[in-house]
A and B are shown apart, each in its own frame.
Chain A
Amino acid sequence: MTYVVVGAGPSGVIAAESLRKSDPEGEIILIGDEPEPPYSRMAIPYFLVGNIEDHGTHLRKTKDHYEALGITYVQDRVSRVSPADHSLTLASGGTQSYSKLLIATGASPIKPPIEGLGLPGVHHCWTLEDARNIIELAHDGAHVVLVGAGFIGCIILESLVKRGVNLTVVEADDRMVPRMMNQKAGGMIKQWCLEKGVNVETSTRVTKLEKNAKGTLNVDLDNGTQLPAHLVVIAAGVKSNTDFLEGSGIEVKEGIVVDKYLKTSVEDVYAAGDCAQGPDIAGGWSVHAIQPTCADHGQIVGKNMAGIKTPYKGSLVMNVLDTVGLISVSYGAWEGKGDGVEVLDEKNYRYMRLEFEGDKLIGALSLGRTEHVGVLRGLIQTGVALGQWKDKLKEDPQLIMEAYVATKYV
């Protein structure tokens, strides 16, 4: 049995480990296309500010971790999948056959249609290599324009501020982190950033980048402003890496379509993580490109590939963000279905919004709270009937932990 895992991010690595646990004998080949040991993009913000070095970003810290598990790590890129003959075409020229294949190729940054995106000094912040390029240019006092205030933009924002740059964030939507925060919370994060000395331009687009006489960049905005920049960081969202599957017969919609066993439309081919469109706990099938889903997918898919049938109950979308010290959290259906409650302390940047369906919690947003936020996952995921605690939560939405403890132990 030869298992091939394409993609050495968290899903791929966890899947390879899960495969080894379920099948002590099979050959496991892990293929990654970056010139680094498998690492976590989640750690890049901390690498950017020098809190950690390369090693601190690595997914596994033990020397010879992969060798010890009998996992062969190969640096290459898969350019084609041929399910008919169970083989892969490698960018280096060779081929690799498989008995069972996992596609865990993750996602890549979207390139927005902006003129001048290819100029020197314009970088994504997605890979360790990107981060090294950013470190070169993001010096104390440098002018930096960050294009996009989504989750990734906001996570990098803090690192750029800590590097002492003169930062302007440009977001096309009407608020910060629009896919994670509502109008109120997104607005509070913007206000917080402004207070911390970050320029934030929402409802604004970058129209053009060009090199100026000083060798740096001019950034044109659609409001008529022009900003100087030593560095432009593009964080306009990501999309699943599936282009190489064209012609393979593997069904792709938003991501690679998988069933509850994380198997694709093609026999012996599975998908996991940021590139997979899998079961959503709220019903339906979604791409949830988040670390907890990657980890769950990796564990489950390894078992299924090894023949231990293990259905996945579905992922719950969740995010946590630290924007220059203001911590925000979002879970599930935070847009709500018309039965929500919120409590706001604008002065102290504290906010909690809960969304219910019947007497169940289905979504939540929080700002300025670090204690026991995980219990929101427990409350949503288990669909626990809140009973009288729904009314209590409507009086004080901060009582989430009390509600959970009470429904279990009182």
Chain B
Amino acid sequence: MQKSLSIDPAKCTGCLQCELACSYDNEGVFNPSKSRIKVFNFHDQGRFVPYTCTQCDEAWCLHACPVDAISLDASTGAKIVSDQLCVGCKVCTIACPFGTINYNQSTGKVIKCDLCEGDPECAKACPTDAITFVDANWTGLEKMRAWAAKTDSSVQAGA
């Protein structure tokens, strides 16, 4: 059974452990600005919302890549960037309507969540279970999926 990240903003306390774990594991630095998951802080409502790539079926980034540098990892379902093939053109960063693939100026490559080869550091680091790694059918993902479908301009079922 393929698993997905499930995010429950109501449980997030804004501790940013996920951002630190992500940036450390993937970029070797404790630097939230290099994290592939980002916690948004809505002061006035007292809410925190962790957000990252949903590995959407539409895979806007993958289809927009002109040099075949983004591929589907069949074992995890993640869309992953090959640093060897990425030329740094950034087309994927404007094609992804979720804003979850970003250009890293220090490496000249793009970065996105790759589900840490099936063992996501953010979920392991989260002390409150706001981020969990669960079966892909988990209903908590429906909201994101619905949003992904709504955003899809390119394909409509039927005529």
The answer to whether B154 touches A300 (Cβ under 8 A) is: yes
Given A313-B153, A401-B40, CB of A374 within 8 Å of CB of B101: yes
Is there a chain A Cβ closer than 8 Å to B11's Cβ?
A: no
Closest to A318 in B: B94
A327 to B105, CA, bound (A): 10
Is there a chain A Cβ closer than 8 Å to B117's Cβ?
A: no
The answer to whether A378 touches B97 (Cβ under 8 A) is: yes
Is there a chain B Cβ closer than 8 Å to A292's Cβ?
A: yes
The answer to whether B97 touches A373 (Cβ under 8 A) is: no
Is there a chain A Cβ closer than 8 Å to B74's Cβ?
A: no
A374 to B96, CA, bound (A): 5
One of A51-59, A117-125, A140-148, A195-203 contacting the partner = A51-59
Given A291-B66, A377-B95, A402-B42, CB of A382 within 8 Å of CB of B151: yes
* Chain B nearest Cβ from A36, distance in angstroms: 14
Is there a chain A Cβ closer than 8 Å to B55's Cβ?
A: no
**Across-interface contacts of B92 in A (CB, < 8 A):** 374
The answer to whether B9 touches A409 (Cβ under 8 A) is: yes
**Across-interface contacts of B143 in A (CB, < 8 A):** 408-409
* Chain B nearest Cβ from A19, distance in angstroms: 15
One of B14-22, B23-31, B81-89, B122-130 contacting the partner = B81-89
**Across-interface contacts of A402 in B (CB, < 8 A):** 40, 42
The SS class assigned to the B binding surface is mixed
A371 to B94, CA, bound (A): 10
Given A319-B94, A320-B90, A331-B94, CB of A299 within 8 Å of CB of B155: yes
Given A312-B154, A322-B90, A373-B102, 7 other A-B contacts at CB below 8 A? Answer: A14-B63, A320-B91, A377-B97, A381-B153, A382-B97, A406-B49, A409-B143
A281 to B38, CA, bound (A): 30
A60 to B100, CA, bound (A): 24
A320 to B153, CA, bound (A): 20
Which of B45, B60, B63 is most buried by chain A, counting CB atoms within 10 A of its CB? B63
In the assembled complex, 20 residue pairs joining A and B whose CB atoms fall closer than 8 Å, in A order, are A14-B63, A42-B87, A43-B67, A46-B88, A46-B89, A56-B85, A291-B95, A292-B60, A292-B94, A295-B63, A312-B153, A315-B153, A325-B105, A377-B96, A378-B98, A381-B151, A382-B97, A402-B42, A405-B40, A406-B49
* Chain B nearest Cβ from A316, distance in angstroms: 7
Enumerate chain B interface residues (CB-CB to A < 8 A): 9, 33, 38, 40, 42, 45, 47, 49, 51, 60, 63-64, 66-68, 85, 87-105, 143, 147, 150-151, 153-156, 158-159
The answer to whether A410 touches B68 (Cβ under 8 A) is: no
* Chain A nearest Cβ from B39, distance in angstroms: 10
A329 to B94, CA, bound (A): 8
Is there a chain B Cβ closer than 8 Å to A311's Cβ?
A: yes
Convert A292-315 into 0s and 1s, putting 1 for each residue whose CB lies closer than 8 angstroms to a CB of B. Answer: 100110011000000001111111
* Chain A nearest Cβ from B71, distance in angstroms: 10
Residue of A58, A296, A374, A406 touching B100 (CB-CB under 8 A): A374
**Across-interface contacts of B9 in A (CB, < 8 A):** 409-410
The answer to whether A405 touches B97 (Cβ under 8 A) is: no
Given A372-B100, A377-B96, CB of A316 within 8 Å of CB of B153: yes
* Chain A nearest Cβ from B62, distance in angstroms: 9
Which of A41, A46, A325 is most buried by chain B, counting CB atoms within 10 A of its CB? A46
Convert A65-85 into 0s and 1s, putting 1 for each residue whose CB lies closer than 8 angstroms to a CB of B. Answer: 000000000000000000000
**Across-interface contacts of B159 in A (CB, < 8 A):** 309-311
Is there a chain B Cβ closer than 8 Å to A40's Cβ?
A: yes
A373 to B97, CA, bound (A): 9
Residue of A315, A320, A374 touching B97 (CB-CB under 8 A): A374
Residue of A291, A373, A405 touching B49 (CB-CB under 8 A): A405
**Across-interface contacts of A375 in B (CB, < 8 A):** 97-99
A310 to B63, CA, bound (A): 17
* Chain B nearest Cβ from A12, distance in angstroms: 13
The answer to whether B49 touches A370 (Cβ under 8 A) is: no
The answer to whether A314 touches B66 (Cβ under 8 A) is: no
The answer to whether A372 touches B47 (Cβ under 8 A) is: no
* Chain B nearest Cβ from A96, distance in angstroms: 27
Which of B45, B49, B93, B101 is most buried by chain A, counting CB atoms within 10 A of its CB? B93
**Across-interface contacts of A300 in B (CB, < 8 A):** 154-155
A-B pairs, 4 with minimum CB distance: A375-B99, A378-B97, A372-B99, A40-B66
**Across-interface contacts of A406 in B (CB, < 8 A):** 40, 42, 49
**Across-interface contacts of B63 in A (CB, < 8 A):** 14, 295-296, 299
A40 to B87, CA, bound (A): 11
